[in-house]
Amino acid sequence: MLASPSSFKRINSLRQLLGVLGDRGERKSSLSVVAGIEDDDTAANDDDDDDPPFTPWAVSVASGHALLRSPQHNKGLAFTEKERDAHYLRGLLPPAVINQELQERRTLHILRQYQVPLHRYIAMMDLQESNEKLFYKLLIDNVEELLPVVYTPTVGEACQKYSGIYRRPQGLYISLKDKGKILEVLRNWPEKNIQVIVVTDGERILGLGDLGCQGMGIPVGKLSLYTALGGVRPSVCLPVTIDVGTKNEALLKDEFYIGLKQKRATGEEYNELLEEFMTAVKRNYGEKVLIQFEDFANHNAFELLTKYRTSHLVFNDDIQGTACVVLGGVLSALKLIGGTLADHTFLFLGAGEAGTGIAELISLEILKKTKLTLEESRKKIWLVDSKGLIVRSRKESLQHFKQPWAHDHAPVKGLLEAVKAIKPTILIGTSGVGKQFTKEVIEAMVSINAKPLIMALSNPTSQSECTAEEAYTWSQGHAIFASGSPFDPVIYDGQEFVPGQANNAYIFPGFGLGLIMCGAIRVHDEFLLVAAEALASQVTEEEYAKGIIYPPFKKIRKISAIIAAKVASRAYELGLASHLPRPRDLVKFAESCMYSPTYRNYR
């Protein structure tokens, strides 16, 4: 039976009244009762044979064939005999009834037979589009195996080939053609209650350059992680790609390219479209919707963050998320390499969003923990860009985000020369260009330090500044190593070395959950510091004993809950949280808000 218009009105006003947080949250929505086909996942509702509580609103939103075609509600062969009778499914499915656990094993078995990573990616996207709960159950239960499939590095290849593998729209496309109509475009999206938007303009997809409209794979992938790793409900997530054209000549010549075939717009035209988008988002979803900027090119990334951080709830994952995960890794690594943060000397290869973002957050943490001034703490950090070491004599010609790092020093050309001149204890690669940490660079680091910390952060794997194997072999097992893209453990000299994955996926899902659950209205730098410290605190002594500086991804939901709690707690302290009263136990509250992918019973 379809909901009558008046029932819909009641459903909508209930949504507005309750806000949608999560499944077991104190602010739990009672939509399950309203919608009949249940929209949330309380264990209490899972007992099949109990009669549903009486409610005058009980309606079914889909049945029969439409139910099987609804990714949010479809359970495939897991529909029971009773459900098949009750929801007009008889004959529409083969007779076997297969529960979710067996479906999960079956899907994993099939996935493992695909040798080509992109085929696994396509199979996972198909699953997400046909059976959302099974997709998330599989991803959550097998996160270490499947993260590289739906996310970095495979998502990079998927974006490069996106026009070829495109099947269905997985997010909202907003192009220059939609100028003046963005509010209408937002209203075309089927979900009305949106809490997180990940938006890209495709200009700098990972380290792969301008992929234009094909960048859509990134917001889709990031938001899958919001749900799988941070427990944010899929229905409140909105992936957006803003298409203002592309500089990528190959795409412009490709007859199958799905984007606007024109030169990338810049300046006024670009700013106006972005301004319209930001205004429309706030108007349509309110102040508390989180907008995560992803994979914008440097100039726009910094400008957008500066422009909107005082008027919107915005977060740039490449500047702030990456900074947070790296600061977390460095704080954690201090247990292995010794000293305090302020005792170290940092050298970065790359002075873009990630490099300067990390540098700034490290200096803020030094400022917080010592008596040094911001200026003094920044002096511990040196950056190398394509023209060599950033030094004071270059200051006038530098982009504004590089200027704080222009310290007094004679000009130095290449990275190796900079390592020899600066003698860093920590080397961080954020250049987006692979193979820059050569044998000579790593050897120079080892000649200066007993245990150099080396972080090769550029993504995907092809752009990594060096591989895990190179780092361990060239340093003869002395390096503590982490990378942005995943690498397998390495055996060197009979010993196993486990590289860390310094990827912002450790941070943004929990960070976003924290902002949403407390109703934050702005992102404060303090939130980034507490999130980094929370991540570092999750590494155990046993992990340190093995040289590990990041906790394993299999613990990520717990880690995300802890990060969310720290962020929310700081937001309450700073008066930036609007959901009152403050829950007493924020970790428990965060966990109670998390989406569960277990199938519901449809009575």
Ligand X SMILES: O=C([O-])CC(=O)C(=O)O
Q: How far apart are CA 302 and CA 512, in angstroms?
A: 20
Q: How far apart are CA 36 and CA 58, in angstroms?
A: 5
Decide whether 31 or 301 has the Cβ nearer to Mg ion.
301
317 binds ligand X (CB under 6 A): yes
152 binds, among Mg ion, ligand X, none (CB under 5 to 8 A by kind): ligand X
Give long-range contacts, CB 8 A cutoff, 24+ apart: 535-541: 535/324, 535/325, 535/328, 535/329, 535/332, 535/506, 535/507, 535/559, 535/563, 536/328, 536/329, 536/331, 536/332, 537/562, 538/562, 539/332, 539/335
Binding mask 80-119 for ligand X (x = CB under 6 A): ----------------------------------------
Of 169, 151, 160, 165, residue with least CA distance to 209: 160
Binding mask 554-593 for ligand X (x = CB under 6 A): ----------------------------------------
Longest dimension (CA), the chain: 80
Q: Do β-strands 381-385 and 313-316 pair in parallel, antiparallel, or remain unpaired?
A: unpaired
* 413 Cβ contact list (under 8 Å, min separation 6): 388, 389
C-alpha dihedral, 417 to 423 to 427 to 432, nearest 10°: -20
504 binds ligand X (CB under 6 A): yes
Sign (positive or negative) of CA dihedral 190, 195, 201, 205: negative
Take residue 582 and report the two structure tokens written for it.
Answer: 């403050």
Q: How far is the CB of 206 from ligand X (least distance, A)?
A: 4
User: How many residues contact Mg ion, by CB under 5 A?
Assistant: 3
318 binds ligand X (CB under 6 A): yes
Instruction: Say which of 151, 173, 226, 472 is annotated catalytic.
Output: 151
Bridge partner residues of 453 (DSSP): 426, 480
Of 30, 32, 34, 56, residue with least CA distance to 46: 32
Sign (positive or negative) of CA dihedral 15, 21, 22, 27: negative
**Among the residue ranges 136-144, 312-320, 341-349, 376-384, the one whose residues contact Mg ion (CB under 5 A):** 312-320
Decide whether 357 or 484 has the Cβ nearer to ligand X.
484
Q: How far is the CB of 592 from Mg ion (least distance, A)?
A: 30
- Contact between 452 and 460 under an 8 Å Cβ cutoff? The reply is no
Q: How far is the CB of 153 from ligand X (least distance, A)?
A: 8
User: How many residues contact ligand X, by CB under 6 A?
Assistant: 9
503 binds, among Mg ion, ligand X, none (CB under 5 to 8 A by kind): ligand X
Cα 169 from chain centroid (whole Å): 20
318 binds Mg ion (CB under 5 A): yes
3-state secondary structure of 303: helix
Decide whether 132 or 318 has the Cβ nearer to ligand X.
318
Of residues 5-24, those binding ligand X (CB under 6 A):
none
Active site (annotated) includes residue 257: no
DSSP 600: P
Decide whether 294 or 385 has the Cβ nearer to Mg ion.
294
Q: Which amino acid is at 312?
A: H
Q: How far is the CB of 279 from ligand X (least distance, A)?
A: 26
Of 216, 223, 174, 218, residue with least CA distance to 194: 223
Decide whether 234 or 352 has the Cβ nearer to Mg ion.
352
Active site (annotated) includes residue 9: no
3-state secondary structure of 75: coil
- Identified binder of Mg ion from the candidate list 39, 295, 533, 591, rule CB under 5 A: 295
206 binds ligand X (CB under 6 A): yes
Of 150, 169, 205, 208, residue with least CA distance to 317: 205
- Contact between 463 and 433 under an 8 Å Cβ cutoff? The reply is yes
- Identified binder of ligand X from the candidate list 132, 295, 470, 591, rule CB under 6 A: 295
Is the backbone peptide bond immediately before 239 cis, with ω within 30 degrees of 0?
Answer: no
Nearest position to ligand X, beta carbon: 152
- Identified binder of ligand X from the candidate list 103, 503, 538, 569, rule CB under 6 A: 503
Of residues 432-471, those binding ligand X (CB under 6 A):
459
Instruction: Say which of 75, 133, 137, 222 is annotated catalytic.
Output: 222
**Among the residue ranges 49-57, 71-79, 284-292, 295-303, the one whose residues contact Mg ion (CB under 5 A):** 295-303
Q: How far is the CB of 196 from ligand X (least distance, A)?
A: 15
Decide whether 357 or 547 has the Cβ nearer to Mg ion.
357
Q: How far is the CB of 221 from ligand X (least distance, A)?
A: 7
Match 């009762």 to its residue by tokens: 33
Decide whether 207 or 551 has the Cβ nearer to ligand X.
207
Decide whether 29 or 322 has the Cβ nearer to ligand X.
322
- Return the active site residues: 151, 222
- Tell me which residues touch Mg ion (CB under 5 A): 294-295, 318
- Tell me which residues touch ligand X (CB under 6 A): 152, 206, 295, 317-318, 459, 484, 503-504
